[in-house]
Amino acid sequence: MTAELSPIDKAKYAAARKSVDFVENGMKLGLGTGSTAAWMVRCLAERIRNEGLKVTGVATSSRTADLARELGVPIVGMDDVKWLDLTIDGADEFDPNLNLIKGGGAALLQEKIVATASDRMIVIADAAKEVAQLGAFPLPVEVVPFGWRTTMALIEETLYSLDVLNREVALRMDESRPLKTDEGNFILDLNLRRIGNPRQLALVLNQIPGVVENGLFIDICDIVVIGNGDGRVTVRDINSGRVEDGSVDLAQSANIFADLGE
């Protein structure tokens, strides 16, 4: 299996594999959305199967919930648990302060609700997601469908007063129609190239009528696990300042799908 994985998939697997080491018996977990998070769900399912690990999961999207149930990871609703011990999720970008851009998978609203209702958030990512300054990845903003063109115009006008390099805003499409989130909302992608003040931008965007939530995660992430294609992993804890280097056995990924009946 590892021979069939691209270097980027090996890096995602390495980060995901390391992240589930933080999971302890009896935890209530937030399970993220996206390709890296999908690896994490598979690694978590393997621990449940092989070690008898007991956890309760809250999924951040219907896609993650479907995958988790398929693999035997128990899933409940957010209101059933109210608070979580740990959330593990991916990111589209992260900066040195572990501020994030998320929402490439159109699940940013549920992801932010789950992450902020957790004692800790761990982000898993390949090394390419690390940036000196946020903004190269388009910033997703979830908006209600009613009056979305007006909301987009208000966002475009607001951007002129903010420290960004570019101000292009586009409606995210699903083939020939607007993409809809699990909540039935639309996504506007802001191609800003550089975000000078992420905290200010996040606050201002959420004041615009029609905006439900934005993809800037500020002061939410506690730990980032960075994976590399050769199996090396780096764990950074923003609270303690610790940086730990290690590695995972990439050969284990050869058995993940077979062991889980995939």
Active site residues: 111
Q: Tell me if 79 is assigned to a ligand binding site.
A: no
Q: Tell me if 65 is assigned to a ligand binding site.
A: no
Q: Tell me if 104 is assigned to a ligand binding site.
A: yes
Q: Tell me if 107 is assigned to a ligand binding site.
A: no
Q: Cα separations (Å) of 251 from 3, 4, 36, 139?
A: 9, 12, 17, 35
Q: Tell me if 36 is assigned to a ligand binding site.
A: yes
Q: Tell me if 103 is assigned to a ligand binding site.
A: yes
Q: Tell me if 89 is assigned to a ligand binding site.
A: yes
Q: Tell me if 34 is assigned to a ligand binding site.
A: yes
Q: Which residues are annotated as a binding site?
A: 33-36, 89-92, 102-105, 129
* Residue set of the binding site for substrate: 33-36, 89-92, 102-105, 129
